[in-house]
Structure 1
């Protein structure tokens, strides 16, 4: 028996070492670290860890031990939650939706501002725990009541679960603001990455609930705003920049939208898109709407190759406005609240926010834009991790809290 355990231990150790070596080699062969990024060694190490976890998750998935998303979530939940003695933190459920409420302990003579927060993670990861420290920071720095929404995600739940959970939790919260000591005229919807996209989708949906208090402001941090055009300048320029490389982005999109991974190239190249559809959406999604300074001379055409009708039939559900909030009509955009948009130069999703910025401004919606030259996708997730934090992480967290304090 001891020999069997020894063989098993050696086998597992060899597997882990082999996978990590593969991840490191893959990183150095494919990853691009722009010169503007600070602490490149730290970033390289963290990206190798990400690739290692994803690769090991795929192996376990093929062995039918556990799914790849669940394996990633196991690792993310190892993060250390910091206790803030100035806040009361309460875990609750709104129906089947887990939420976490952060309330300042100090007595206030007036109702406080409210923040509804939707975390990131591309539906593969992200949780109440992994974004706990950020929500705690926002609650204390802005003296606000923060509701963090723990929506359901992969592997058990796919589209449109995130939007529905975020909307239902928000409606319940908005109906009971006085219970939580929140001023109905000062509620902010805030989200990062796919959570930023959820902000846009939720506030659009809330327009159909006139009896509820109106959202005062929307805060979108490096948001996912569309799943139609993956040939924007930022996608081409940053396709191999950690942490959101093209490979990881496509894994997240295909799994959440229940698209077979064999259609990845059609999705990336746009060959699934009928010409008539592109004529309709290009006025909002074309790279012509991106400021010149964000474009390089070596950009490829937005759509290449002949139209693939079979791909269209498999992928066409991504053209739904409940997937891509950038596709709604002008009359809806014009009704939205003021916005604070955070973009990172080295983020493949940078141009999603820039397209949204233009749409809002064209309809007269006030926009405050905060651009981080040394930022990369997901950096705010690391803002309070000390050893693994980056200057851009702290800058974004402070900029968001500063904006919200002005609401």
Structure 2
């Protein structure tokens, strides 16, 4: 009996050690593919964050291959249990969870009295349309609400790949229009002072929603007062812009991962990632049309200083790939490609970009499009920032001090509305 038990324990230890070595080896391989530029603040901490995220992803991948659970489900579970810290509402802020038209929302209301109607912000969290939640955006929304004395509504839209486009955008529209219709009566908010905004995929949803509402203006609710776009993903036509080349391996968003998230949002299938990265999904006539908005020549010279070529030559157009993802070139998925007449009618914008972010040029080029069409833009560029940095505000040992000045710039903008 004792010998059998000893053999069982040794066998279990060997399996565990092999599993651990496999994870360590895979994490090491992933780290060798990452590049963290010297200009990033707290580079060592970003390395730790990258190790943590890669480790979670690899364990999820192994469990997925074993048929125990889906990788996405595992990652969401870990994030909800260990990367989110729920705290009581701070003094001066009332927080409650509600439903707007069946869509979960969290409302952050300053308790201090306000002369006249208060301003509002409907916020859409990031996470590539796949990850993220009301909880992951909690610290950002608390800060904006309390420091700018703004009523913030954080929207828990449905996630891909279970719910692909247009479900997340439809949820954002439903929650926003509901809030605009009841803002004054139920929350003391002036509906003419309500902005929409979000980070990353949430910024995409905010910009797309503004264009959708501009086209559907029917007078039932006031249009958004502004669009607050924080390192937004704005197009899936060109994954070879200078920022994609310069920051292709900078955590937490690699170039290939950006294409992956777009595909999850569209159809839940990642098999076409190589085709998107090579540009095989864009027909030559559309590529020529988009060049007037996506050319690197439109970028300020300082954003070419870290070096980049013209990018790899686009792969030969593949009609089957185009038809599979053509919805991704629609302005509701790629707001940067919107029609002039529609973009011109969208509200003033606050655009945040980060130097070490593959999506940097999306924001800069959208800023130019808006300004060229007469839309007022306030732009803040974080020269030491990376994609997703706001998610590391007030996160204990995971905090990055560089997130604080970025939040200050958002607060200052909200105070102007």
Distance 1:303 1:147 in 2: 44
Decide whether the 8 Å contact of 1:259 with 1:314 is kept in 2: no
For residues 3-402 of structure 1, the aligned pairs below 5 Å read: 10=13, 13-14=16-17, 17-78=20-81, 79-83=84-88, 84-178=90-184, 179-207=186-214, 208-211=216-219, 212-258=221-267, 260-295=269-304, 296-301=306-311, 303-402=313-412
* Deviates further, 264-273 or 23-32: 23-32
- Find the aligned partners of 1:8 and 1:144 in 2 and give their Cα distance: 59
Write the deviation string for residues 282-303 of structure 1: whole angstroms up to 9, x where unpaired.
Answer: 2112222222221254424364
More displaced stretch, 285-294 vs 37-46: 285-294
Give the drift of 1:104.
1.4
Deviations 1:355-386 (A, max 9, x none): 11011000111111100111000000111113
Q: Is the 8 A contact 1:54 1:68 kept in 2?
A: yes
Distance 1:239 1:107, change over 3 A: same
SS in 1 for 2:271: helix
2:110–2:149 CA contact under 8 A, matched in 1: yes
Cα distance in 2 for partners of 1:206, 1:231 equals 30
SS of corresponding position for 2:402: helix
Q: CA 1:282–1:13 in 2, change beyond 3 Å: closer, same or farther?
A: same
Q: Are the structure 2 counterparts of residues 328 and 293 from structure 1 closer, same or farther at C-alpha, using a change threshold of 3 Å?
A: same
Q: Do the aligned partners of 1:123 and 1:256 also contact (CA within 8 Å) in 2?
A: yes
Q: Unmatched 5+ residue regions in structure 2?
A: none
Structure 1 residue 399 displacement after superposition: 1.0
Instruction: Answer whether contact 1:225 1:326 (CA < 8 A) is retained.
Output: yes
1:271 Cα deviation after fit: 2.0
Residue 146 of structure 1: SS of its match in structure 2? strand
Residue 101 of structure 1 aligns to a residue whose secondary structure is strand
Matches of 1:238 and 1:117, distance apart in 2:
27
- Post-superposition CA distance 1:146-171 (Å, at most 9, x none): 10000010342122221111111101
Kept in 1, the 8 Å contact 2:246–2:307? The answer is: no
Q: Aligned-pair distance for 1:10?
A: 4.1
Is the alpha carbon distance of 1:280 and 1:77 closer, same or farther for their aligned partners in structure 2, counting shifts above 3 Å? Answer: same
> How much has 1:350 moved relative to structure 2?
0.2
In 2, are the aligned partners of 1:81 and 1:133 still within 8 Å (CA)? no
Q: Which whole-Å CA distance do the structure 1 matches of 2:277 and 2:367 have between them? A: 23
- TM-score of the pair, normalised by structure 2: 0.92
How far off is 1:185 after superposition? Answer: 2.1
Contact 2:348/2:377 (8 A) holds in 1: yes
Deviation larger for 189-198 or 79-88:
79-88
Summarize deviations over 1:232-255 as a string: whole Å, max 9, x none.
000011000000012322332222
Deviates more, 1:10-19 or 1:220-229: 10-19
Contact 1:69 1:154 in 2 (8 A): no
Runs of 4+ in 1 over 3 A off after TM superposition: 1-16, 300-303
TM-score for both structures, normalised by structure 1 = 0.94
The verdict on how the C-alpha distance between 1:14 and 1:344 changes in structure 2, with shifts beyond 3 A counting, is same
Q: Give the CA deviation at 1:257.
A: 1.8
The whole-number CA distance in structure 1 between the counterparts of 2:412 and 2:23 is 40
Three-state SS of the structure 1 residue aligned to 2:297 is: helix
What is the number of residues matched between the two proteins? 407
Q: Deviations over 1:28-73 (max 9, x none)?
A: 3111010101111111011011111112212222222221111111
Cα-to-partner distance string for 1:289-335 (whole Å, 9 max, x where unaligned): 22222125442436423222232232322112221011111111111
